[in-house]
Structure 1
């Protein structure tokens, strides 16, 4: 599982110009079953994405293709998380244990 932090950079002012392409990129990530959750970092710091069902290399390639990254609207940080505990509502996020 990956936490992707997209923090605004010096080209933040260009976000409105690139927003439609960024939203299409997000939609593709959800359509491909890689992204599970996306939202804004507060207060107006950028965005965050929870991604699964991909290798680190696949996530890195996908993030590199984000129009916000390409146009330096955001800088991306990819953190890998191995879940070990979850509330009852989120147990589906835990890795399956081989029997």
Structure 2
């Protein structure tokens, strides 16, 4: 599992221009099962994506499709983690990773 932390590096007006395309990107990877949860940071300086992938390399390749990456809207930090404790309702994601 991976935490993808986005930090905006441009004005929010520019971020807003690419939100529809970014949402299409998110939808694609929710449909594939790679994305589990996502949302913006508060204060609004970026966002976070919880992802399920086979490797860091796979996550890096997925990120390259994000319009925020393509148009240099955000920087990305990837953190891999191995869940050792989790809510019973989260078990599905752990067993399928």
TM-score by length of 1: 0.84
Deviations along 1:21-76, one digit per CA (max 9) or x if unpaired, are 11100000101110000111111011100001432111110012110011111111
Deviations along 1:68-91, one digit per CA (max 9) or x if unpaired, are 011111111110011111233434
Larger radius of gyration: 1
CA–CA distance in 1 between the matches of 2:86 and 2:36? 16
In structure 2, runs of 5+ residues without a counterpart are none
Answer yes or no: is the 8 Å Cα contact 2:2–2:53 preserved in 1. Answer: no
Answer yes or no: is the 8 Å Cα contact 1:11–1:72 preserved in 2. Answer: no
| 1:1-99 aligned within 5 A | 1-10=1-10, 12-94=12-94
Deviates more, 1:32-41 or 1:4-13: 4-13
TM-score by length of 2: 0.86
Kindly tell me the number of residue pairs found equivalent between the two proteins.
96
CA–CA distance in 1 between the matches of 2:9 and 2:30? 24
Answer yes or no: is the 8 Å Cα contact 1:69–1:75 preserved in 2. Answer: yes
Answer yes or no: is the 8 Å Cα contact 1:4–1:77 preserved in 2. Answer: yes
Q: Over aligned residue pairs, what C-alpha RMSD do you find?
A: 1.8
CA–CA distance in 1 between the matches of 2:80 and 2:37? 15
